[in-house]
A and B are shown apart, each in its own frame.
Chain A
Amino acid sequence: MLSYTGMLALLLIHGNVMLPYVSSQNEPRINASDQEILQPKSGLELPITLQCNLTNSHSTHRQTFWMKNGQEISNTRTEHKHTEFKLSKPRTDDSGEYMCVYTFKSAPNANASIEVKAAPEIIGHKRSENKKEGENATLYCKSVGYPHPMWMWRKKAGRGTYIDIDNSTGRFFVINKDNFTELSIIGLDISTDPGEYVCNATNIIGSKESMTILRVRSHLAPLWPFLGVLAEIIILVVIIVVYEKRKRPDEVPDDDEPVAPIKNSTNNHKDKNVRQRNTN
């Protein structure tokens, strides 16, 4: 015969022992597929399928949908417990943090996340930037790829070697955001600043760089072609005028008659022609 207290203790112990099971029974369990690493450039663009399966849930399950990087993906809502998201031809910008989310009638949402990682790819940059000296130049690079890369700016210094940017003059400013970086140079200096600038994006999977050429024009750059054209024009005009002056002693523009008496006779002929034309 168990005493009253003994029975209470037993109940308590049983309850304590049961507690984790009870709480784990209250928590829904989701089986999610592993993280994926995309290799879009390798040519083996195998389709990738992300899967989530709700194994146990205490509350009535209502809907399932997918989210990418914190935003819901449209047309993924179903009422099944097992859900798949397929990437048929995965590209770098398909990478990110994917979550399958389960909603319940009277319980908070449950989710599981699957990371799809890829090496960064640089999608936006200027090939060249032309500015006048003393102006400000802005070079930028945009990337896709998850996780978000670390950015670094370097400058090419002859034959494949790179040097880090020398900011001793304090004119260089770098702004790094997740998928975007910007290098601002104020007060361009024509002797030191022109060259090839490289932005480098590195994440745990890989790295990529792209180059922008910065050209600095001097204030007087267009002056030389202008003076050249001016010189050409002056030379041509001088040639034409001199040619005309040398012909002028001959006087007659359409006949090349150098001797006066003959000239008069041709003029007379011309007058005769004129009279004849008029009467026609």
Chain B
Amino acid sequence: MPPSASTNLGYTPPDGGWGWAVVFGSFISIGFSYAFPKSLTIYFKEIQEYFSISYSEIAWVSSIMLATMYAGGPVSSVLVNRYGSRPVVIAGGLMVGVAMVMASFGTTILHLYLCVGVIGGFGLAFNLQPSLTIIGKYFLVKRPIANGLAMAGSPVFLSTLAPLNQFLFDHFGWRGSFLILGGVVLNCCVAGSLMRPIKIKTKPPVSKTTDENDTAKPDVTSQTAGQDKSKQSGCAAKVSQFIDISLFKHRGYLIYLVGNVLLFFGFFAPVVFLAPYAKHQGIDEYSAAFLLSIFALVDMFARPGTGLVANTKWIRPKIQYFFSFSVTYNGLCHLICPLLPGYSGLVVYAVIFGLAFGMVCALLFEVLMDLVGAQRFSSAVGLATIIECGPVLLGPPISGLLVDIFMDYKYMYYACGMMMLAGGVFLFIMNFYNYRLLEKEEKEKQVEDRLEIGSAKELAANEEDKDNEEKIRLNTEEEVGKSICEEP
């Protein structure tokens, strides 16, 4: 059985029905969040010429968008804890839409930084966290499948947005395209309207006992919503009303964070450098682009597939091990990449890397839900993304630096492979330790429960014995008294 954290929902998640519509909504939101910043790079050349700026200045737009998307995690978590997923996603969609429309009238590059980068980034952050959170609310038994399906949005949208952007660019130029994209991105609002909040009718006594320790309880009926029973005082109390800081004392969460920081250093760089590496080997542009398509295609199917596998009864209880395995497998892929010769070698690498990438992405948030439970998930994911922000943004430039220093891509692949191996091995060991400790704690708890029950029974038995003794004494006293009285 998974650790007890995941069952503290206070209600039974539907695990189906409208849940699948919610998965579809999350699919759209997550797809836009991850694919949108990457697909905008098609316009960079023309914008660069229009504003007469250097390549690094235009690349900042994408970096700022990604950075704000990750940094906006905690803000998003606070809002989700307060208002629930649906309003936040709709607000996020509106923000990105308005940002793109404003950007289409931009006159300076600073205008673009602000609109597309900052406002757009926040809007996408408001799309990402709530979509993940609401899956945890709607699913428990089938949660890995739901997560895998929702995360598949990213490659699907990337494959669709890239040609669409090219078409828009040819016909409308960058300004017209930004205007139309602003409209297209408003589909996130449609996705948000699908995310119906769960309304549970729970009886007051039951609800009181189950949400004693929870500071995050959205979408439950008005009796319990907003009335947090946190017993701390001062600043900590105020902050923990918005976001759950006590997560930092959670052992599993800390393991997850450290493992993630290690793995994100080497996670995105190989994707970024796949096409340049292929061209460096002498492969023409179209074949290099085709490699990326193969990668995206495999990724698309690997994610739901991993969800299905993770849902089986053999893997689900030990899902942390599965995650560590996929991270280690990822690292091994990168280590053997420089050894694979020629174009066919690169195709093989694209396939196995696509599989590895999909596995890690599908499990990334599922294991977090498994560790901290659906209640604390939104705070957890917000804090996790802001800490992951660093390695995600630094990873590709550092890898680029390695390529520039050594003038060879293989050192970059070795470095990425080593980082991911280190992360995977760390997660393996620490999760082994964590599972052992959790089992020990479970056993102790069970023993305590039994002792309580046992001692209660003993007490009851003792009391019964005492009562019986009393009765016997009383009887014997009576008899003695009678016999005394009856003597002449």
Contact = CB atoms under 8 A, between A and B. Distances in A.
A226 B171 contact: no
Nearest to B184: A229
A62 to B, nearest CB: 46
Interface in A215-253: 217, 221-223, 225-230, 233, 236-237, 240-241, 244, 251, 253
Interface stretch (A140-148, A158-166, A266-274): A266-274
Interface in A248-280: 251, 253-254, 267, 270-271, 273-275, 277-278, 280
Contact of A221 (B1, B18, B104, B176): B176
A217 B12 contact: no
A222 B180 contact: yes
Contacts of A69: none
B172 interface: yes
- Secondary structure of the B contact surface, majority rule: helix
Given A217-B172, A244-B196, A273-B12, A233 B187 contact: yes
B170 A226 contact: no
A273 B199 CA distance: 17
A176 interface: no
Interface in B164-207: 170-173, 175-177, 179-180, 182-184, 186-187, 189-190, 193-194, 196, 198-199, 201-203, 206
A91 interface: no
A68 B172 CA distance: 46
A233 B196 contact: no
A229 B11 contact: no
Contacts of A274: 10-12, 206, 210
B11 A270 contact: yes
A251 B17 CA distance: 15
Contact of B183 (A132, A230, A240, A244): A230
A130 interface: yes
B177 A277 contact: no
Interface residues of A, number: 30
B143 to A, nearest CB: 15
B159 interface: no
Nearest to B18: A253
B172 A254 contact: no
A271 B206 contact: yes
B14 interface: yes
Contacts of A236: 187, 190
B194 A240 contact: yes
A227 B193 CA distance: 20
A217 B189 contact: no
B7 interface: yes
Contacts of B203: 271
A224 to B, nearest CB: 10
A229 B186 contact: yes
A236 B28 CA distance: 14
A226 B7 contact: no
A222 B179 contact: yes
Contacts of A221: 171-172, 176
Contact of A132 (B1, B173, B182, B194): B173
Contacts of A130: 170-171, 173
A278 B176 contact: no
B193 A226 contact: no
A137 B18 CA distance: 55
A275 B17 CA distance: 23
Q: Residue among A228, A240, A254 with the most chain B CB within 10 A?
A: A254
A237 B12 contact: no
A253 B16 CA distance: 11
Interface in A126-174: 130, 132
Given A217-B173, A241-B193, A226 B182 contact: yes
A251 B221 CA distance: 12
A270 B12 CA distance: 7
Q: Residue among A236, A251, A253, A271 with the most chain B CB within 10 A?
A: A253
Contacts of B198: 253
B17 A254 contact: yes
A230 B94 CA distance: 12
B193 A240 contact: yes
Contact of A217 (B17, B18, B176): B176
Contacts of B171: 130, 217, 221
A227 B201 CA distance: 42
B196 to A, nearest CB: 6
A223 B182 CA distance: 11
Contacts of A233: 183, 186-187, 189-190
Contacts of B18: 253-254
Nearest to A224: B180
Q: Residue among A132, A222, A225, A230 with the most chain B CB within 10 A?
A: A222
A233 B190 CA distance: 7
A226 B172 CA distance: 12
Nearest to A215: B171
A254 B104 CA distance: 43
A229 B168 CA distance: 14
A252 to B, nearest CB: 8
Interface in A179-237: 217, 221-223, 225-230, 233, 236-237
A253 B176 contact: no
Nearest to B14: A254
Nearest to A236: B190
A1 to B, nearest CB: 94
A229 B187 CA distance: 9
B48 to A, nearest CB: 18
A280 B445 CA distance: 12
Nearest to B21: A240
22 contacts: A130-B173, A217-B171, A222-B172, A222-B176, A222-B180, A223-B179, A225-B172, A225-B183, A226-B182, A227-B183, A228-B183, A229-B183, A229-B184, A233-B183, A236-B190, A237-B193, A240-B193, A253-B196, A254-B14, A270-B12, A271-B203, A274-B210
Given A225-B183, A254-B14, 11 more contacts: A132-B173, A221-B172, A222-B104, A222-B177, A226-B182, A233-B183, A253-B18, A253-B199, A270-B11, A274-B11, A280-B7
Closest 10 CB pairs of A and B: A222-B176, A229-B183, A254-B14, A222-B172, A226-B183, A236-B190, A240-B193, A222-B179, A233-B186, A225-B180
